[in-house]
Amino acid sequence: MDLGLLTRQSELCWRIEAHGAMRVPGVLYGDETLLEAMDHKVYEQVANVAALPGIVGASYAMPDAHWGYGFPIGGVAAFDAAAGGVVSAGGVGFDISCGVRSLNTGLTRAGLRGRESALADALYRAIPVGLGSTGGIRLDAVQMDAMLAGGARWALEQGYGEPADLERTEEHGCMAGARPDRVSDHAKLRQRDEMGTLGSGNHYLEIQQVEEIFDDAAARAFGLRPGDLLATIHCGSRGMGHQIGTEFLRSMAVAAQESGIRLPDRELACAPVRSDIGQAYLGAMRAGINCALANRQIITHLVRGAFARVLPDARLTMLYDVSHNTCKVETHTVDGARRELYVHRKGATRAFGPGHPDLPAAFRDVGQPVLIGGSMGTASYVLAGSAEGEALSFSSSCHGAGRAMSRHQAKRTWRGREIVDELATRGIVIRSASLRGVAEEAPGAYKDVGEVVDAADAAGLSRKVARVTPVVCIKG
């Protein structure tokens, strides 16, 4: 990206001044190195989002932003329905409610030593992975609608998990306002056999070691100590979310035209929040969120079972579950007034600061856990929401490293077997359904997650709490 196109507001905050059709400015967070490495398409997409009706504040890009469909991945935008605001399927993304769930295991690295391969094998056998993977759960029509309405609460009622899990899950495990009747039969068919599966792409299940603590108070609240092991699940709504996004993008393109909305890019197809299509999408999207929450809840149950077979002394308890492809109704202060907004976060994580009433009591003093994933051979991070984050980005932060090259480029650059062997020399055990998938997700295909997290911390979007490194990685 050409930094000459931006106005520098501070060391880590840059501004695209409103011009042309833009209704608000664009705001990008990151240092010079991160922004210069971003494709110019990120600039264009941030500016295009700023032209949508009813947008409030600014169109934001997180430090890990890169090109996406319509909205940049790492994009945040909030819309006021009372001012003609819109909802956009491209502002949520295709993998609705893709997110990260971390569990404290009650074990240290020393307690796993010598059992890494056995645990990797047990996890790989227990959780289906890979493109089109299916599991042992098959939902009929009644069960499907119950799952879409109930989310992780439904999964718990079916015997998957523990009641305490819901307290540390966004929305307490169930997104209100879900409308299973707004999800097409085809989307439901795609999901019928996919509950409790990891999927492919950048999804993973990792056993991670806590390497470094940056914030002692938050680490204590999160139950983190150096040497502790975490189990972290990264996945979403599988085929259902993709189908919901695909179908509504088509109908939103028509709805935008009928509503007189001039789109700077067809990929920004949207509909007024208060339109029939807008309400139908919100109902289906919320059902997709519940699908992802139920999926991660079931996988949690399967992970606990695998641990019990290999390491019976383990006690897996929830740290937190947070999504990063959503649109949620939240109340934020804008120009001194509290307003109800539809906050789109695409490849961005909600990061409520200390004192927020929606947080579990254990986190009220330190802020919401923000779980940032790496890529097989790189570190991941646990952050906490900051007090100033609401004013900076509607309480939003980064979600991962962000891709630095396409999957096609990565396949041309690396071979999966070479990556698996190289990581083994570093003590990292990999299990994957596809060596091609391993090449696509090579650590070198991503930005430096440490630089991204440092930028988020220095900008005030969230605070660093802990750095964790992979020991075992199950890749889709």
Joined tokens for residue 307: 């641990």
With beta carbons less than 8 A apart as the criterion, state whether 43 and 5 touch. yes
With beta carbons less than 8 A apart as the criterion, state whether 75 and 46 touch. yes
Rounded Cα gap, residues 56 and 42, in angstroms:
19
Q: In the block, which residue shows the tokens 């989310």?
A: 151
Rounded Cα gap, residues 389 and 401, in angstroms:
19
Residues 6+ apart with CB under 8 A from 259: 271, 272, 275
Rounded Cα gap, residues 387 and 399, in angstroms:
18
The catalytic position among 66, 203, 324, 399 is 399
Rounded Cα gap, residues 363 and 44, in angstroms:
37
Find the radius of gyration of the CA atoms of the chain.
21
With beta carbons less than 8 A apart as the criterion, state whether 214 and 462 touch. no
| Residue 399 is among the residues annotated as catalytic for this protein | yes
Please give the distance of CA 430 from its chain centroid, rounded to a whole number: 22
Please tell me whether residue 91 adopts helix, strand or coil conformation.
helix
DSSP string, 8-67: EEETTEEEE---TT-SS-EEEES-HHHHHHS-HHHHHHHHHHTTSTTEEEEEEEEEEEE-
Alpha helices in 158-275 (DSSP H): 164-167, 185-191, 216-222, 238-258
Amino acid at 377: G
Joined tokens for residue 390: 């609401």
Rounded Cα gap, residues 373 and 236, in angstroms:
14
Catalytic residues: 399
